[in-house]
Structure 1
């Protein structure tokens, strides 16, 4: 599985990651995979198009290419770690208005997915522990 994961990361970084067809394919595969978790989600062009549109809008709030490049050049941290760094930097550098916009995009994505899912969810989510 290490080689598979490495190949997928390579494909993500060096492949057709920016193409619309690639995004459609990955979104379709992810929605279809939900069935393996007991979530019967409708997978059609409308749902995929709506999810991709929101993702594209969310990407406009992403880090500048210069900052992304700096993060990618960091040494001593793997791909997943760099993704975490990028997420943290993005959250810290967003204005309050941008953060609210990002939250609205997440709500929209959630609503699209909930509308696509048929029937009650069979997946249990761990409840948060309050201290």
Structure 2
């Protein structure tokens, strides 16, 4: 996909979640954290051992994140291109709830299914691999 088309759709159909990503990006840049680029997306490395989160064309990952993690978060960017304003309800909220439930269960010692067992996470991984 062309970078101009990627950002045109992100900043029109997918504007809602990108505004939040831009706000977080500005705060991080004001604190001295520099943005990086992963294909068409802009990302920041912040904190340790927490994974990542996507806000459209912007994503945020732990320091020294693997290419697989960055690719997965980039995949969520493509979900935003397809779902637009519905991304928040179809992917972001369910994914966030699931992340926190898994974190809680992990601390309690439960055996967890693979992360990509959840439909929107496996879809993000496939999209990220396809477009990376």
> TM-score, structure 2 length as denominator?
0.29
Larger C-alpha radius of gyration, 1 or 2? 1
Higher-strand-fraction structure: 2
More helix by share: 1
Structure with more relative contact order (C-alpha pairs < 8 Å, separation 6 or more): 1
